[in-house]
A and B are shown apart, each in its own frame.
Chain A
Amino acid sequence: MSAVHATSVVPMANQIATFFVSQGDHAAAVAGTADHIKAFWAPVMRRELLALVDAGMADGLSDVAREAILRLR
């Protein structure tokens, strides 16, 4: 996994999660984040984020974003 993806997909996922956290409770935020990522991210980007999580390299990934991407596995 290249550094390129760690520096792009992790903050992107966090940004999305931050928005959905502001919209409602934790469960809704995870669902909203997951739905958004599924609707707008190419599968390769989701795979890359999952790979980072699996490899323990997704430093700084928020809890909501982490739950959301794991839901999309």
Chain B
Amino acid sequence: MSFIQETDYGTPAVLADKTVTLTIDGVQVSVPEGTSVMRAAKELGTTIPKLCATDSVAAFGSCRLCLVEIEGRAGTPASCTTPVAEGMVVATQTPKLAKLRKGVMELYISDHPLDCLTCAANGDCELQDMAGAVGLREVRYGYEGANHLTAEKDASNPYFTYDASKCIVCSRCVRACEEVQGTFALTISGRGFESRVSPGQSEAFMTSECVSCGACVQACPTATLTETRVIEIGQPEHSAITTCAYCGVGCTFKAEMRGEELVRMVPWKDGKANRGHSCVKGRFAWGYATHRERVTEPMIRSSIDEPWKVVSWDEAIAHTASEFRRIQARYGRDSIGGITSSRCTNEETYLVQKLVRAAFGNHNVDTCARVCHSPTGYGLKTTFGTSAGTQDFDSVAHTDVMVVIGANPTDAHPVFASRMKKRLREGARLIVIDPRRIDLVRSTHVEADHHLALRPGTNVAVLTAMAHVIVTEGLVDETYVRERCDLQAYAHWAEFVALPQHSPEATEAVTGVPAAELRAAARLYATGGNGAIYYGLGVTEHSQGSTTVMAIANLAMATGNIGRPGVGVNPLRGQNNVQGACDMGSFPHEFSGYRHVSEDETRHLFEQAWGVALGAEPGLRIPNMLDEAVAGAFKGIYIQGEDILQSDPNTKHVAAGLAAMECVVVQDLFLNETANYAHVFLPGSTFLEKVGTFTNAERRIQRVRRVMRPRNGYADWEITQRLSNALGYPMDYAHPSQIMDEIARLTPTFAGVSFDKLDALGSIQWPCNDAAPEGTPVMHIDHFVRGKGQFILTEYVPTEEKVGPRYPLLLTTGRILSQYNVGAQTRRTENSRWHEEDVLEIHPHDAEERGVRDGEWVRLKSRSGETALRAKTTDRVAPGVVYTTFHHPLTQANVITTDYSDWATNCPEYKVTAVQVSRGNGPVEWQVEYSAQARKSRRIEAAE
């Protein structure tokens, strides 16, 4: 395996219709108009020396190293800031340029430590490279003058170090923070000789506004900003392209290695989802893969009250198979089921659902999308015909009006948020619909035109009121609707939304959104040009989640905002492969490609391929499995890579369901909270240890490449395969590519997908078949997948979960930037330094009424349960609303949430729970008991 060296073209690529031809060093080259001379030269293979230029940020023209001579022009212009011109004749190497460049380098080196041999960047330093490129042999000024060699290091950030003595003040880091990340945390403080990179107001990186995305580290041409890991162990020697295992953005990285040791993850410029950017999780938070708490040996126990006993793989697999067969013999074929993982690969997910359907002999399979985006699947399939978002991420560059509903992209999808912010800085308009004042509402150089701070649970009322405005004010794109949509359904819908009770004025009392503000937002979306809707779990995790998704689809169809770049309906998926898990047939009612189990032709296709008879009726969903378990009919479950005890609502009910089962099998990296109730623990493998594919939120299938051997001995697909064989259903895949080949044979939307094609193209967005051999970036271009777009009536139905005297506040939950979901991975990294515990955001008014002060313990109680955590007073939440995260098991925020769920899909209503908050003095009794039980449950019997 070789080291992947990416080409730096010096300045960003330019898109232009016109091409310009020029001559550089006697060779003609044609490039898009507006391209820099530096980039044009690089296109030819000619490298012009440079320091302040890199192709991730706009040209700056400060280092004066990239000077060139141009026939007919005076002086020696900087090639990075000089655009090409027709017929231009450029010389990149002349005696005059050589002298100038050498002089520049002499000045830089005169104030730079000459410790190259012991420098962390040795072998990866552009300053060193440029000294070589210009032939620097002496520094006439000596090294004794005023300098910065004793400047202090800032090692406050756990992931990178700032060594000011090595800074050449090229501003690449500052510009990367501004242009790529959009945080504006860095600046150059001081003037002239005093100029230095400064986080915030000369703060330490750790306490500044820096979000640790790594863009500055990547942009730095010297050892000034260097990964701490590189400082500790040295430079990598080989690398492989792989896909991040955190959120649904699906960033691709170069995993840079020393043998089997991961040195650093560097975002890949050619990654079509992230375009060379990263966040603090994907870039730095991978230490969990080698964390001391990782379990690498299988374990079993006959009772959850007993300590674990380490056993061989053979024994663990045989025991599991024997238990599942025993249970089925006693309680029936439908008494067991499985849960696929959105953190695992498509191939692994496909194999688990196949195991359940073919080896267990039922359809009792579900996935964590049940608790996040299952309403997206239902809503978009009903209205458009496909259970997925309509656009690629690049589409945002063509958007004029963004609507962000129930999503917090800067925290949960940070790399895409940076692309959104870039477009907003270019002038796109923004509407935020969210109970909280998320960062996008107002942050550096970004301000929403409208923030509709609705009451939790009133999404449908707000969106239907927007539709009312669009219809009654004549803002419908009638041509689009006439050509693309079912006209009868449209007429019915238009009549419905035009009813007076759906006007913003009528709904204001329910939603809390001022009518004038809502009207203005609706007008902007309908008339502001390309309108794109991005939404998250604040849409889906409601009792009307599916209705809300359909209300969003209605708005997009009515305004003609579907079927071209810049528009669309775009669910921001939570986990790295939640789209893929859904695509692969993880739901109990459908096979891969979203085909219902009752469709005879599809079912017979699978029966023939798998050699088993398959039922025509759906299986149990996760909450149904738990209900059945409590009722005594469901007795065994195989859970791959999901921690339902911490992530699913109404923790006590989940615990009761798990406790009622006779064989709970958890396959994971760590003894997670669900494993407290498990009888078999099968150690899983990390994304660094396996081969396969993930599919991101834009339907993009990307390769996952193994860079180290599995510490547990097997990739997750191999474990599923062993279990299947032990159950008597043979599987004999030798490589995950064979699983993908089977998926392609059986799934029309994946018909053209193979590992070979993925390797050749880099990534593919499904559908990929004969009609679209290289995939489909934008869907529904000429017609909807279902034919005509289907408008659906969206009557607002208030949730059953209501505030009252006992529970007067509404709790809503979400994520934070540095932690990821249940925190199993990020809590085992330095990321916890940014978020050591879940806190309760409460408005100062509500806090004062209760005598609660910032930082104090509070009790949070609902009809489901009670927990305690510290309060954070903030006006980010409105009076009457409180907010917390669910990253830490000690808090167990889901002990509070209820079992109300979406009417169509059973997706839990995490976002609306009536609660009371009161002063506390530490963890409540339940938390203390739970911690004790968890400790007891994690005991491992000493080896004999």
Interface residues of A, Cβ cutoff 8 Å to B: 2, 4-5, 8, 11-12, 15-16, 18-19, 22-23, 36, 38-45
Contacts and interface: CB of A to CB of B under 8 A. Distances in A.
Interface string B866-906: 00000000000000000000000000000000010101111
A2 B624 contact: no
Interface stretch (B145-153, B628-636, B924-932): B628-636
Contacts of A12: 901, 903, 906
Given A2-B631, A5-B627, A42 B619 contact: yes
Contacts of B624: 8, 41-42, 45
B813 interface: no
A5 B905 CA distance: 17
A42 B620 contact: yes
Contact of A5 (B364, B547, B631, B906): B631
Count class of interface residues, chain B? 20 to 34
A18 B596 CA distance: 24
B495 to A, nearest CB: 13
Interface of B: 334, 363-364, 543, 547, 588-589, 596, 598, 617-621, 623-624, 627-628, 630-633, 792-793, 795, 797, 800, 899, 901, 903-906
B473 to A, nearest CB: 24
Nearest to A36: B904
B586 to A, nearest CB: 14
Nearest to B588: A42
B545 to A, nearest CB: 11
Contacts of A15: 543, 903
Looking at chain A's contact residues, is the secondary structure mostly helix, strand, loop, or mixed?
A: helix
B903 A16 contact: yes
B631 A42 contact: no
Nearest to B800: A11
Contacts of B795: 19, 22
A18 B631 contact: no
A39 B617 CA distance: 7
B906 A39 contact: no
Contact of B905 (A40, A42, A43): A40
A42 B618 contact: yes
A11 B47 CA distance: 69
Nearest to A15: B903
A19 B905 contact: no
A23 B618 contact: no
Contacts of A16: 903-904
16 contacts: A8-B899, A18-B797, A19-B795, A22-B795, A23-B793, A39-B598, A39-B618, A40-B589, A41-B618, A42-B364, A42-B617, A42-B624, A43-B617, A44-B628, A45-B620, A45-B624
Contacts of B632: 2
B596 A39 contact: yes
A58 B283 CA distance: 54
A64 B281 CA distance: 49
A29 to B, nearest CB: 12
A5 B639 CA distance: 24
Nearest to B653: A4
Contacts of B621: 40, 42
Contacts of B906: 12
Contacts of B364: 42
A4 to B, nearest CB: 5
A42 B589 CA distance: 8
Nearest to A8: B627
Contacts of B363: 42
A16 B797 CA distance: 11
B790 to A, nearest CB: 11
Nearest to A1: B631
Contacts of B631: 2, 4-5
A40 B597 CA distance: 10
Contacts of A11: 800
B369 to A, nearest CB: 14
Contacts of B543: 15
Given A5-B627, A12-B906, A42-B620, 19 more contacts: A8-B627, A8-B899, A16-B904, A19-B547, A22-B793, A22-B795, A22-B797, A38-B617, A39-B596, A40-B621, A41-B624, A42-B363, A42-B617, A42-B618, A42-B621, A43-B617, A44-B628, A44-B633, A45-B624
Contacts of A42: 334, 363-364, 588, 617-621, 624
B547 A40 contact: no
A43 B628 CA distance: 12
A52 to B, nearest CB: 12
Contacts of A4: 627, 630-631
Q: Which of B589, B627, B632, B795 has the most CB of A within 10 A?
A: B627
A24 to B, nearest CB: 8
A66 to B, nearest CB: 17
